Chain A
Amino acid sequence: MAEQSNETPWQPKILAFLCNWCSYAGADLAGTSRIQYPPNVRVIRVPCSGRVNPMFIVEALRQGADGVLVSGCHPGDCHYLAGNYYARRRFALLQRYLEYLGIEKGRVQFSWVSASEGQRFAAVVTKVTEDVQKLGPSRHLNIQVPTEAVVPNGPKESEPKAI
């Protein structure tokens, strides 16, 4: 969120899509093992990283998430055999595309975390939170930010352009 009072410093909101079979179980293990990690992450459980539609990620940014993490099983370990392989191709293109359009590097991240890697899950969340903290509040695509702040000088009532 863009506007926060001085008393509570800004904290990033991070949305995490975790696959049911690996990363969600990894997050569960981190919890039951009492491993500490930043509380900035909001988890959505999905059947597979291959279930994550690129639209979900862009919509998360639009709704005001400062960062998005998608995490699934390690390649070769997919419960559905190949879901994460398809996801990897899709997200490779998506991440490079969003970066090309001007979404800062680090806002949208991907990782592989298995059900036994509670420690690793905590490390991943810590890293993503630090990265997004450095980038500051999300301004692009974010409907929670007043329009003037999105486009420099605000959208003008520009004269119709000659064609």
Chain B
Amino acid sequence: MNALPKPIQEAIKGWLSSGEIELFIGYEAGTVPLHATPAFVRRPEEVERLIWDATCENNLAAFLSKYRGKKVGLMVKGCDSRAIVGLIQEAQWTRENLRLVGVSCPGVVDPKRVAEKLGLWVEDLADAHVEGGQVLVNGQRLAVGEVLYAVCEACVHHNPVIADVQMGDSISDPDPADAFAHVRETETLSAEERWARFAGELERCNLCYACRNACPMCYCNICFVDRTMPRWVNQTLRPEDVQFFQIIRTFHLAGRCVGCGACTRACPQGVNLRLFLDKLRADALELYGYEAGTDPSARPPLTTYRENDYNDFIMG
């Protein structure tokens, strides 16, 4: 656990005391092993609580919908900053109301993976912490790079797209040649196999909506699942109802999903939602050359059109 460097602390304190922002959202040490807790700081003297290390997993942009119209500061990793770009594009936020501390993130630690590697239960990780690029568990050491979330391993945009202050050095991004390799692999399966995979993953889903709540782009005041007039979704655990919910929620992110993986990390049942959302991202890139959140001046693909758009799927 590392407190933020002094210059960064001073910058945040300056914003808070000058009234440029009324709230700063960062991370602080939490009680859950290997998982920093989001911290909501309103007074300059509280800034010392804030930390940054490889356990700062939450996408803080997801909290922004609660503070619409306010002036808020935020700590952003690469993926969080892409979500913020998306929110600005969709006119949920104006850039002037945000103060961003950008941090280049090499990836965050997956406690389940740590436990698995060491043959332990997640509950056994109570003393685990991250120190100098290593995870320390009861005297054993693991390199952070070995126990990242899958989404972080596949990350090709480590650096923040937008930030007011950059904390630490930027990281060189890997070649994004096979960013969607898992999608291509799934595409080679037969329709039956793909359905078995989809239905199999969602067999574990119990409609807790953690994916929706963790998603920075899911900001509707009333979600379609909560609407009763009309009632779009049967909130039962029938496989068809669960599948309906997940198809529609994921499709609402078509051309908008920034691939931060917050939904997949938040899922208590370990449903690999990334496998499905990444298909939408791959198609948005392939058909419309659009990667959500990477270019603040671009228009999201479903809010615009070209006359010569992809038309092959229309019956001849």
Chain A residues in the interface with B (C-beta under 8 A): 54-55, 58-59, 62, 75-76, 82, 85-86, 88-105, 109-112, 124, 127-128, 140-143, 147, 150-152, 155, 158, 161, 163
Contacts and interface: CB of A to CB of B under 8 A. Distances in A.
Interface of B is mostly: helix
Contacts of B141: none
Contacts of A99: 191
A29 to B, nearest CB: 18
Contact of B191 (A62, A96, A104, A150): A104
B240 A89 contact: no
Interface in B145-171: none
Contacts of B183: 100
B67 interface: no
B248 A147 contact: no
A100 B238 contact: no
A140 B193 CA distance: 12
Interface of B: 112, 122, 183, 186-187, 191-200, 203-204, 224, 232, 238-241, 243-244, 247-248, 250-251, 254-255, 270, 276, 279-280, 283-284, 287-288, 301-302, 305-307, 309-311, 313-315
A102 B195 contact: yes
Nearest to B311: A88
B85 to A, nearest CB: 20
Given A88-B305, A110-B315, A155 B239 contact: yes
Contacts of B195: 101-103, 140
Contacts of B194: 100-102
Contact of B305 (A54, A82, A140, A161): A82
A93 B283 contact: yes
A124 B187 CA distance: 28
Nearest to B278: A100
A88 B315 CA distance: 12
Contact of A97 (B254, B310, B315): B254
B238 A147 contact: yes
Contacts of A109: 315
- A92, A101, A140, A151: which has the most chain B beta carbons within 10 Å? A101
- A62, A90, A102, A103: which has the most chain B beta carbons within 10 Å? A102
A97 B249 CA distance: 13
Nearest to A112: B314
A141 B243 contact: yes
Nearest to A95: B313
Contact of A89 (B199, B224, B232, B288): B288
